[in-house]
Amino acid sequence: MTGTPGRSVVAAIDQGTTSTRCLLFDHDGQMVSLTQREHRQHYPRPGWVEHDAEEIWRVVERIVPEAVRQAGLEPAQVAGLGIANQRETTVVWDPATGRVLAPAITWQDTRADELVAGLVADGHAEEFRRRSGLTPAGYFAGPRLRWLLDHVPGLRERAGQGRALFGTMESWLIWQLTGGPEGGRHVTDVTNASRTMMMDLRTHTWDPVLLDLLEVPPAVLPEIVPTTGPFGACRTVLPGVAIGGAIGDQQAALVGQTCFAPGEAKCTYGTGAFVLLNTGERIVDSHHGLIPTVAYHLRDQQPVYALEGSIAVTGSLVQWFRDALEMIPTAPQIETLARTVEDNGGCYIVPAFSGLYAPRWRADARGIVVGLTSYVRRGHLARAVLEATGWQTWEVVRAMDADSGIPLAALKVDGGMTANHLLMQFVADVLDVPVERPLVSETVSLGAAYAAGLGIGFWADLEGLRRNWHRAARWTPTIDPEHRAREAANWSDAVNRALGWSPR
Ligand SMILES: Nc1ncnc2c1ncn2[C@@H]1O[C@H](COP(=O)(O)OP(=O)(O)O)[C@@H](O)[C@H]1O
Ligand SMILES: O=P(O)(O)OC[C@H](O)CO
pLDDT tens-digit series, residues 155-196? 999 999 999 999 999 999 999 999 999 999 999 999 999 999
Residue 274 β-bridge partners: 268, 310
Task: Count how many residues are written for the chain.
Answer: 504
Q: Whose CA is nearest to atom 18 of ligand 1?
A: 416
Q: Ligand 1 pocket: which residues have CB below 6 Å?
A: 16-19, 270-271, 315-316, 318-319, 331-332, 334-335, 415-417, 419-420
Site to probe by mutation for ligand 1, drawn from 417, 443, 444, 446 as the one with most ligand atoms within 8 Å of Cβ, is 417
- pLDDT given for residue 503 in this prediction: 65
User: Is beta strand 411-414 parallel, antiparallel or unpaired with respect to 165-167?
Assistant: unpaired
Q: Where are the domains of the chain?
A: 9-241, 258-438+470-504
Could you tell me the distance, in angstroms and rounded to a whole number, from the CA of residue 272 to the centre of ligand 1? 9
What is the rounded distance in angstroms from the CA atom of residue 100 to the CA atom of residue 344? 46
User: Is beta strand 50-51 parallel, antiparallel or unpaired with respect to 104-105?
Assistant: antiparallel
92, 155 Cβ separation under 8 angstroms: yes
What is the rounded distance in angstroms from the CA atom of residue 141 to the CA atom of residue 90? 6
Of 39, 33, 42, 35, the closest CA to residue 19 belongs to 39
On the CB side of 175, how many CA atoms lie within 13 Å of its CA? 30
**What sign has the CA pseudo-torsion 190, 195, 197, 201?**
positive
Element (H, E) at 304: strand 304-311
| CB distance 272 to ligand 2 below 6 Å | yes
- Residue 72 class from Cβ within 10 Å (0-12 exposed, 13-18 middle, 19+ buried)? exposed
**Helix axis angle, 443-456 to 249-256, nearest 10°:** 80
- Residue 243 class from Cβ within 10 Å (0-12 exposed, 13-18 middle, 19+ buried)? buried
Could you tell me the distance, in angstroms and rounded to a whole number, from the CA of residue 319 to the centre of ligand 2? 15
Q: Which atom of ligand 1 is nearest to the CA of 444?
A: 21
Ligand that comes closest to the CA of residue 316: 1
Number of neighbours of residue 211 by Cβ within 10 angstroms: 18
461, 296 Cβ separation under 8 angstroms: no
Number of neighbours of residue 44 by Cβ within 10 angstroms: 11
How many helices (DSSP H) and strands (DSSP E) are in the chain? 16, 20
| Topology agreement, domain 9-241 and domain 258-438+470-504 | yes
Fold of 258-438+470-504: Nucleotidyltransferase; domain 5 (3.30.420)
What is the rounded distance in angstroms from the CA atom of residue 381 to the CA atom of residue 361? 25
| CB distance 88 to ligand 2 below 6 Å | yes
236, 222 Cβ separation under 8 angstroms: no
Phi, psi (deg, nearest 5) at residue 50: -120, 155
- pLDDT given for residue 4 in this prediction: 52
Which residues of the chain fall below pLDDT 70?
1-7, 503-504
Site to probe by mutation for ligand 2, drawn from 86, 144, 311, 317 as the one with most ligand atoms within 8 Å of Cβ, is 86
Number of neighbours of residue 46 by Cβ within 10 angstroms: 7
Integer angstrom CA distances of residue 260 from 58, 116, 317: 34, 34, 31
Assembly ipTM: 0.97
Fold of 9-241: Nucleotidyltransferase; domain 5 (3.30.420)
Ligand that comes closest to the CA of residue 16: 2
Integer angstrom CA distances of residue 483 from 75, 370, 492: 56, 19, 14
Integer angstrom CA distances of residue 432 from 32, 61, 398: 36, 44, 11
Could you tell me the distance, in angstroms and rounded to a whole number, from the CA of residue 136 to the centre of ligand 2? 19
3, 79 Cβ separation under 8 angstroms: yes
- pLDDT given for residue 1 in this prediction: 44
**What sign has the CA pseudo-torsion 385, 389, 390, 392?**
positive
